[in-house]
Structure 1
Amino acid sequence: MGDGHRPGARPRIPVPDRDPGLQPERTRLAWRRTTLTCSAVVALGERALLRSGAPGPVVVVLAALMGLVWAVFVAASDRRIRSMATGRPPELRRRLAWVLAGCTLVLAVLGAAVVPP
């Protein structure tokens, strides 16, 4: 028992590095597609908002909020894309994941509020 292993414990298997080839490229492209989709959703939401006939201040506040959420999403995803430029990206930080999820949720709520029934 002097080998440092506990009885019944599984031996540690070394984790290989990620594929330095196409996997980071696919991930980077997925982030680009997601950013493009977010941009399209905001553009369509802004268009629907401007055509809704809502009072002026409401339109301005909702449009500004949609633009702000879009800018935060683009900045966060761009940060992630840039971190992958060196090859293996670092783990997605919990804070960044929450920011991206929050942006998606806010855009979904704003989209539901803007689309006419």
Structure 2
Amino acid sequence: MTTAERDPGLQPERTRLAWRRTTLACTVVALLAVRQALHGGATAAGVLAVALSLLAWLGFLAVAHRRVTGMTTAKPAPLSSRLALAAAGCTVALAVFAVATLF
């Protein structure tokens, strides 16, 4: 019995595209938070929420970049629990800060 090499097909490419779409969505949310703060009047809480939104966006961008570059090998390593937790935390933080920008 021989072990055949894994043929991932297009799965890594689909995963890279999904990470890029998610990064684009996070970018839009961060930009909308900045727009809301600029047009809604710049209060101290609004500026803080926008700054934290941008920080969460940068964190997600770093996680996504690391994952996309890790998908370039023929057999990519699975997403570590640390990176998955960081991505989820950045996403939740971005949503919370975006809501805080509204108030």
Q: Please state which band the TM-score falls in when normalised by the shorter chain.
A: 0.7 to 0.9
Per the alignment, residue 9 of structure 1 pairs with none
Per the alignment, residue 4 of structure 1 pairs with none
3-state DSSP class of the match of 1:103? helix
Residue segments in structure 2 that go unaligned for 5+ positions in a row: none
Q: Write the letter of the residue equivalent to 2:15.
A: T
Q: Write the letter of the residue equivalent to 2:49.
A: L
Per the alignment, residue 78 of structure 2 pairs with 91
Higher share in helix: 2
Q: Write the letter of the residue equivalent to 2:73.
A: T
Distance 1:78 1:86 in 2: 14
Alignment of 1:1-117 (within 5 A): 19-55=7-43, 57-115=44-102
Aligned residues: 101
1:6-51 Cα deviation digits (max 9, x unpaired): xxxxxxxxxx865422111111111111111110111011111222
What is the alpha-carbon root mean square deviation over aligned residues?
2.0
Q: Write the letter of the residue equivalent to 2:11.
A: Q
Distance 2:5 2:84 in 1: 23
Structure 1 length normalisation: TM-score?
0.76
Distance 2:42 2:13 in 1: 43
Residue segments in structure 1 that go unaligned for 5+ positions in a row: 1-15
Q: CA deviation at 1:88?
A: 2.2
Q: Which has the higher contact order (CA 8 A, sep 6+)?
A: 2
Structure 1 pair 114–59 and aligned structure 2 pair: CA distance change class (3 A): closer
Query: Would you identify which runs of 4 or more consecutive aligned residues in structure 1 move more than 6 Å?
Result: none
Look at both structures and tell me which one has the larger radius of gyration over its CA atoms: 1
